Structure 1
Amino acid sequence: MSQKTIVFTGGGTAGHVVVNLAIMPEFIREGFDVHYIGSYEGIERDLVDGMEGVTYHGIATGKLRRYMSVENMKDPFRVLKGLGQARRLLKQLKPRVVFSKGGFVSTPVVMASRLTGVPSIIHESDYTPGLANKIASKFARHILTTFPETNQHLPEKKVVNVGAIVREELFAGDSEQALAMTGLSRDKPTVLVMGGSAGAASINQAVRQALPDLLKQYHVIHLCGKEKRDDTINQPGYVQYEYVTDELKDLLALADVVVSRAGANAIFEFLALKKPMLLIPLSKQASRGDQLLNAESFNKRGYADVLEDEEVDATSLTDAVNRLYENRETYQEYMASYQPQKTKDDVIDMIKQTML
């Protein structure tokens, strides 16, 4: 058994990777041999592959769908193949622990950890656990949660509420770098719009339709998702990108307020940075409803305003952004007591305590 090997897994969306990105540098600095198991071509490969100090391994994956699809007949075979690949990798690498952020790629890895006798830890960000983590929870040693309310949905003897884990580099954002990157100025406040790594059609449409009104008062930086740019729009004060990685910290440093979906990792990052946020959660028609619960929780705590996805249009979005900006100091007062660093340290300590 290697004295200094650890495996991370998680993928499918950026939200299933960013927590790993926050933790891995700590183990790299301590001299661990760090490995990441993900899919062959998922976003996790884009974010992790090539990261100094991390070796990436791709395996076969199957999506765990809640709806009828012909692909559901093929996916069990992909999952079984991925399970076999993950088992061989773990036997070869002999890690002391597996840390999983969730997503469908992580399930065979956590299952394989049980088969090879390697302890595993799962981190669940959302208010209610996703299907992948529900399945993987049966094989994990510990399950860490972000929201305390999540504990009631998971095995009592395994679950520990730790809070959110935030990437350290986000606190090093430089607004001057963002100004140079975007070509914007400080003559107006800046609204940062984020629809997630895949984009959000309803938000993209509403933002673009609202530009004539929004740009009278604000600059708008729009992260619109892969292949979701509209290069026919060329208006001063409006800048759009498909997706950013290292530059996000600088854009957040510049932003006065944020408009976003309500994925747990993202909204806790905004909270840690004390950024007033307008959350537009995915509806139950488009998801399992986790973002609705995330947004409701933040709204009750005074961290965020919420606009339902079905209600989003140019007028409602403009009105909501105006209210958010006018009340930004009130939101920041509620956010002031939140301390993210303790959570990250607690999780790293738990990983070390779980090691073989």
Structure 2
Amino acid sequence: MAAGGTGGHVYPAISIADALKEQNPETEILFVGTRDHMEWRAVPKAGYDIESIWISGFHRRFTLKNLVFPFKLVTSLAQSLKILADFRPQVVVSCGGYAAGPIGWTAGKKGIPVVIQEQNSFPGVTNRLLAKFATKIFTAFKEADRYLPASKTQVTGNPTRATLTGVDKSVALSAFGFDDDKPVLLVMGGSGGAKTINEAMKANMKRLHDEAGLQIIWQCGSRYYDQLKNEFNAHDYKNLRLTAFLDNMAEAYAAADLVMSRAGASSCSELMLTGKPSVLVPSPNVAGDHQTQNAKAMADAGASKILDDSTMKETMSDLVEELIYNQEHLKSMNQAALELAKPEAAQLIAKEILEIATSKLDQ
């Protein structure tokens, strides 16, 4: 399993690994990633072994780090050869991120079947490069198919954490100390937080909390938490729950009437799975502007509304209030999100991986 850099790549890989183990407990699984990114913590926590390669992203503008990139690439290819020789896999699965590039390319050159799982509507560079080696490509959005070999693709949706659903709303509200007579807004900026969303929330907190009467869960990211906590300590926002991380995601989704979020692939898939109406704020700082394309796919289906990152400070309160008190509209968005969801994605992908692995063993 090759995935790295962000939760958008790593968590789908873990979900597939869990499904593989569920379908065939004897499956041996090894992850490949980098030591300085989240996979180095998340993968062992999920119960899997991980090996590291010395690779990093290539910056699109000139930096001194780019001078080291060729050395890192050659080293990572040599490390990938050793990992494949030692582990001898029947299949290599790329879930994207630059850590997947060397191991996927080396596997393809050695004739080891490569399976790709692409989370975004616009595929990342790594998976586009590996597509020529792929035996099978699983996509989350049909829009991704136009950038990949059509004969290899299958729309399965993104693998998501099975623990996100099934929490009763009253239990979730109680977990956050909320009442059941006021709507709940869940605001997420991803694991690292989102500066623009945080600044917009600061500017709109009085209106959303005091005037609109909302109960708010705000995941702001660790780098912003201390400063925001100090700023809001001076105010009495009794229905605000400010947090750096959300360890209890299932309760947060169950409590929320409306979610405001970046439009990363994992976030979109979780919104589909939980059926949560959403306001998506695509990040302008991602490769290929794929978050805008993810958000557009959600909005076109009627599951989400889109806010522009550059103007959200001025427009967010009007949109949130318009949606969160319109039960009929929320219900239609809920249905649209659920219709997009593919809760069996991990199981479907795991089944086909095992079939490919078995056919390789039989050769």
Q: TM-score, normalised by structure 1?
A: 0.90
Structure that is richer in helix per residue = 2
Secondary structure class of the residue paired with 1:282:
coil
1:21 alignment partner, one of 8, 14, 27 = 14
Aligned equivalent of 2:337, options 322, 335, 353: 335
The one-letter code sitting in structure 2 at the alignment partner of 1:26 is A
Distance 1:109 1:181 in 2: 43
Q: Secondary structure, in 3 states, of the residue corresponding to 1:288? A: helix
Question: What whole-Å deviation, never above 9, does each CA across 1:198-253 have from its counterpart, x for those lacking one?
Answer: 211000111122111111321111111232212211321111222234x2122111
Q: Which residue of 1 aligns with 2:77?
A: 83
| Structure 1 residues without counterparts, runs of 5 or longer | 1-7
Moved over 6 A (4+): none
- 2:203 is the counterpart of 1:209: yes
Q: Sequence identity of aligned pairs in percent?
A: 27
1:180 is displaced (CA, Å) by: 5.5
The unaligned stretches of length 5 or more in structure 2 are: none
- In the alignment, is the contact (CA less than 8 A) between 1:278 and 1:324 conserved in 2? no
- Cα deviation for residue 118 of structure 1 reads 2.1
CA distance in 2, matches of 1:337, 1:207: 30
* Whole-angstrom CA distance in 2 between matches of 1:97 and 1:336: 32
1:255 matched residue in structure 2: 256
Deviates more, 1:261-270 or 1:129-138: 129-138
In structure 1, C-alpha distance between the alignment counterparts of 2:5 and 2:250, rounded to whole Å = 22
For the aligned residue pairs, the C-alpha RMSD in angstroms reads 2.0
The aligned residue for residue 240 of structure 1 is: 242
**Counterpart AA for 1:248:** M
Residue 35 (structure 2) pairs with residue 40 (structure 1): yes
State how far apart, in whole Å, the 1-side matches of 2:308 and 2:78 are.
42
Cross-structure match for 1:271: 272
Check whether the contact 1:224–1:240 (CA below 8 A) recurs between aligned residues.
Answer: yes
Change in Cα spacing, 1:79 to 1:338, as seen in structure 2 (3 Å) is same
Aligned-residue offset at 1:286: 5.4
Contact conserved, 1:166 with 1:341, CA < 8 A, in 2? yes
- Residue in 2 aligned with 1:224? 220
Does residue 324 (structure 1) correspond to residue 323 (structure 2)? The answer is yes
Distance 1:50 1:332, change over 3 A: closer
User: Aligned AA for 1:214?
Assistant: L
Aligned residue for 1:137, secondary structure, equals helix
Whether the 8 Å contact between 1:122 and 1:144 is mirrored in structure 2 is yes
2:53 to 59, 69, 72: 59
When residues 90 and 174 of structure 1 are mapped into structure 2, their CA distance, relative to the original with a 3 A threshold, is farther
Match of 1:138 in 2: 132
Report the CA distance shift for 1:113/1:286 in structure 2 as closer, same or farther (over 3 A). Answer: closer
For the residues of structure 1 that align with 2:116 and 2:106, how far apart are their CA atoms?
14
Alpha-carbon separation, structure 2, partners of 1:202 and 1:37 = 33
Residues 45 and 181 from structure 1, CA distance in 2 versus in 1: closer, same or farther, beyond 3 angstroms? farther
TM-score computed with the length of structure 2 as normaliser: 0.89
* Residue type at the aligned position of 2:351: D
Q: Secondary structure at the match of 1:272?
A: helix
The whole-number CA distance in structure 2 between the counterparts of 1:343 and 1:51 is 19
1:64 touches 1:131 (CA, 8 Å); kept in 2?
A: no
Distance of 1:347 and 1:243 partners within structure 2: 29
Q: Give SS of 1:10's match.
A: coil
Q: CA deviation at 1:341?
A: 2.7
